[in-house]
């Protein structure tokens, strides 16, 4: 029992040190509003331009880190493999004895020394392997999130709701000290998603 407690403590310490080492302040970009694309007369071109703007969020480390192509999530803006080494497990919430919830609680926990934080959310987990974004082009990710077989069975209308209001998605705008948030706000991202769908939900090639 003591050995297990020591192991969990060591895992938490390793995670804390890894996050602290990655902590740094960066300038956060904004997102263009939907109105910025109103001057693009061709709906296909407008749809592509809107999705490219959405890509600033989709391809950001805050999102890609939790959509890994392997069983091990990534960490930090440098997107290093998760330390301590973990595996997604059968339910994408870690392996028995080292579940995601071992270190990740229901909310972000800032380090007392101010160097960073351990991220948290009640539903903390990695995306299923079929939803991997790591290493893919924006066009490939676009095709994937439109495909009900690879997006959790969501329709485009449900995708709008997901991007607009899902609180785990929303964590990316409030990731805790030591982590760069994604650009803009979740409300803006949701509005861009709605405008993209309304303009035909076109995907970039490649």
* Mean pLDDT in residue range 87-111: 97
Quote the pLDDT of residue 193: 99
Pairing mode, strands 98-99 and 94-95: antiparallel
Cβ(193)–Cβ(164) below 8 Å:
yes
Full-model pTM: 0.86
Two tokens, residue 163: 């991007």
What whole-number percentage of the chain has pLDDT above 90? 84
Quote the pLDDT of residue 10: 41
Q: Tell whether the model's pLDDT for residue 80 goes beyond 60.
A: yes
Residues sharing a CB contact under 8 Å with residue 128, sequence separation 6 or more, in sequence order: 92, 152
d(CA 59, CA 56): 6
Q: Tell whether the model's pLDDT for residue 89 goes beyond 80.
A: yes
Lowest mean pLDDT among 13-27, 48-62, 76-90, 169-183: 13-27
Domain boundaries, the chain: 2-25+35-198
* Phi-psi domain of 83 (left: phi exceeds 0; alpha: psi -120 through 50; beta: other): beta
pLDDT 10s digits, 52-66 = 999 999 999 999 999
Q: Tell whether the model's pLDDT for residue 165 goes beyond 80.
A: yes
Q: Tell whether the model's pLDDT for residue 126 goes beyond 60.
A: yes
The mean of the pLDDT values for the chain is 90
Q: Tell whether the model's pLDDT for residue 152 goes beyond 70.
A: yes
Cβ(19)–Cβ(172) below 8 Å:
no
């Amino acid at each position: 029992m003591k050995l297990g407690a020591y192991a969990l403590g060591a895992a938490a310490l390793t995670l804390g040190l890894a996050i602290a080492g990655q902590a740094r302040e960066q300038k956060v970009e904004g997102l263009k509003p939907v109105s910025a694309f109103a001057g693009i007369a061709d709906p296909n071109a407008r749809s592509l331009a809107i999705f490219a703007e959405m890509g600033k969020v989709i391809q950001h480390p805050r999102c890609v880190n939790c959509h890994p192509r392997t069983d091990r999530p990534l960490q930090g803006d440098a997107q290093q493999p998760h330390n301590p080494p973990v595996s997604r497990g059968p339910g994408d919430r870690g392996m028995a004895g080292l579940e995601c919830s071992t270190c990740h609680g229901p909310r972000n926990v800032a380090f007392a020394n101010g160097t960073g934080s351990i991220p948290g959310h009640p539903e903390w987990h990695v995306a299923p392997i079929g939803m991997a974004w790591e290493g893919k082009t924006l066009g490939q990710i676009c095709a994937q999130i439109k495909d009900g077989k690879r997006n959790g069975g969501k329709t485009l209308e449900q995708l709008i709701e997901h991007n607009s209001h899902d609180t785990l998605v929303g964590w990316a705008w409030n990731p805790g000290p030591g982590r760069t948030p994604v650009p803009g706000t979740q409300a803006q991202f949701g509005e861009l998603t709605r405008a993209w769908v309304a303009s035909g939900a076109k995907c970039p090639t490649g």
